[in-house]
Structure 1
Amino acid sequence: MPTSFSMTICGIEELAGHNQAGFTHVLSILDPQWPVPEAFGAYGEHERLELRFDDIIEETPGMIAPQASDVRALLDFGRDLMAEPGANLLVHCHAGVSRSTASMLLILAQARPDLGAEAVAAEILRIRAKAWPNLRIVELGDAALGRGGTLASAVIGLYREQLARRPELGEFMTEAGRAREVALAGGASSG
């Protein structure tokens, strides 16, 4: 899918393996108390946005949920990236499954407003086969981009596809506090 920039998604454990990839832009999403990954010491010069919040979809005492301000920051970062010819983007979170895939989905949707939401979600799944985008981030971004709920609906379809491939994800995501995502996908949920 053509964009003006290259896209990679990964988790913290994979960062060292990407240090020769020549990334021009890195969106780093970390838990609030997590140290900056040492792997970045081996990366060349790049623009970097660091966001810090927990991988949750509901306000939870003692945790920091993604906020509209975080989504605005990542969309601003995406706009800057689109202005640079030949940009090469890496988005990472802890596992490269939820916060990073949601963020890349929004950056791609912003870069390609001509694409339908399902095509954007399909591209994220192609880039990162284990994608399960954080619904809160997607909902906030959907509103910010004026997509009328289509991105959130497409992500629910992506969850449905992931659950069909790996039904055990339903229980895992439910136990991780993500029961609403599982329920919206039509999966079994105990909470």
Structure 2
Amino acid sequence: MQSVSISLLTICGIEELPSHAERKVTHILSVLDPETPDPEALQNFAPHERTILRFHDIIADRPGMEMPRRDHVEKVLAFGDELAKSCDLREDGHLLVHCHMGVSRSTASMAMLMAQAQPEIAEDDLFEQIVAIRPQAWPNSVMIDYADELLGREGRFSAALRRHYGRQIKRDPHFVTWMTEIGRKREVDMAAD
């Protein structure tokens, strides 16, 4: 994301936040469950810009839970727009995106921010970059589908996500069990070569 003067990208879960407090984070995107309190660890970070979104990491409606919606993805992209607009105000930056575990909502958010900042990047290359940042990346498919449309990727982003799932399963077959157990079997079934 060099075009927005962000040279360091971090994806993590809530439990990892304390280890990043001294890393000069300039921008934070927090994606939390609606009932999750604000992480106390963020009080130890130097002053930074922060956006907070609250919805559950699900891909199908569940009673009492909030699905990722189009307006949530629009807010992620609005955060990206603000990053781009503020690039002249800083020499460098460190973007940290976190969710509960740093696996799904945060990796989807970082992928769409990178795609937004670098529209020329090929979608498969984008997901390989996400894996380089966060090896356990399993981006939320609902979020990526909305981003595909909003970024004008004409289905390429979603198709690349299916190939990403396939590569992740080959790298670590445990994903099949894990995603199935948490109600994400549809994503496992989406996996392509």
Cα deviation, residue 2, structure 1: 4.6
What is the rounded CA distance, in whole Å, between the counterparts of 2:70 and 2:43 in structure 1? 30
Q: Is the 8 A contact 1:24 1:88 kept in 2?
A: yes
**2:35 aligned partner, one-letter code:** Q
Deviations 1:91-135 (A, max 9, x none): 000110000000000000000001111111111011100100000
- Quick one: distance in 2 between partners of 1:41 and 1:2? 27
* Percentage of pairs with the same residue: 45
Alpha-carbon distance, 1:7 to partner: 1.0
C-alpha RMSD of matched pairs (Å): 1.4
The structure 1 residue matched to 2:30, chosen from 12, 28, 52, is 28
In structure 1, give the amino acid aligned to 2:163. G
Q: What is the correspondence of 1:26-175 to structure 2 with a 5 Å cutoff?
A: 26-83=28-85, 84=87, 85=90, 86-175=92-181
CA distance in 2, matches of 1:186, 1:21: 37
Give the CA deviation at 1:167.
1.2
- Cα pair 2:17 2:41 within 8 Å, conserved: yes
- What TM-score do you get using the length of structure 2 for normalisation? 0.93
Q: Distance between the aligned counterparts of 2:174 and 2:123, measured in 1?
A: 26
Q: CA deviation at 1:176?
A: 0.8
Residue 168 of structure 1, CA deviation? 2.1
Cα pair 2:163 2:192 within 8 Å, conserved:
no
Structure 1: state its 5+ residue gaps. Answer: none
Instruction: Please state whether the residue corresponding to 1:73 is helix, strand or coil.
Output: helix
Which consecutive unaligned segments of at least 5 residues does structure 2 have? none
Q: What whole-Å deviation, never above 9, does each CA across 1:45-73 have from its counterpart, x for those lacking one?
A: 11110001110011222110111111111
Instruction: Tell me which amino acid in the other structure corresponds to 2:48.
Output: H
| Distance in 2 between residues matched to 1:25 and 1:186, nearest whole Å | 34
Q: Partner amino acid for 1:58?
A: A
How many angstroms apart in 2 are the aligned matches of 1:106 and 1:60? 25
Query: Could you tell me whether the CA contact under 8 Å between 1:135 and 1:155 is conserved in 2?
Result: yes
Equivalent position SS for 2:136: coil
| TM-score normalised by length of structure 1 | 0.94
Q: CA deviation at 1:137?
A: 0.6
